[in-house]
Amino acid sequence: LLKGFEFNLNGKLGATLFTPFTEVFARPTGEAILSIAPFAPTIRIGAPSGTTHFKIVMGAAEIDFATETSVFESDETAVLPYDSADTAQIDLMAALTANSVLPVIQVLGIEFYQEVNGTMYPLKNGSYNALSVIDVDTV
């Protein structure tokens, strides 16, 4: 039921990021991996007005419901230019406990920035910053 859950109803991932991605959770190693092939940001991302840069973020959480504890790890790209040039291949990885018997939830998000006089300012427009559950792995 959690797969596809949107943390921001005003900024859904499927209405913001229009490029395919693959997610894998390798339980034997505990590695949650996200891969995105090169893409042109101005074609494949619906960004708010004023965007000059963006960042892709990915996280994975190993959740123990019985003890109400969790382990969370994340990875992110550098701040990338929002232009028509193709990005490089994006490969993000979060390392959790190898051979865990707990459920794992993986999320993917995008953040937007505006560069002003060489400084990056995050755009806090709630209509665009998206975060969604992309995978739920249970034993």
Tally Cβ neighbours within 10 Å of residue 122.
13
Mean pLDDT by groups of 10 residues along the chain of 139 residues: 89 93 96 98 94 97 96 98 97 96 96 94 82 93
Distances (CA, A) of 66 to 54, 56, 107: 37, 32, 22
Lookup result for tokens 């991302």: 45
Q: Count the helix, strand and coil residues of the chain and give each as a percent rounded to the nearest 5.
A: 5, 50, 45
Phi, psi values for residue 41, rounded to 5°: -55, -45
pTM of the model: 0.92
pLDDT at residue 135, rounded to an integer: 95
pLDDT at site 99: 95
Predicted local confidence at residue 11, as pLDDT: 86
Strand boundaries in 77-138, DSSP class E = 80-81, 90-95, 104-116, 119-122, 130-137
Q: Tell me what pLDDT residue 9 has.
A: 86
Which residue in the block uniquely carries the two structure tokens 């590695």?
Answer: 31
State residue 46's pLDDT score: 93
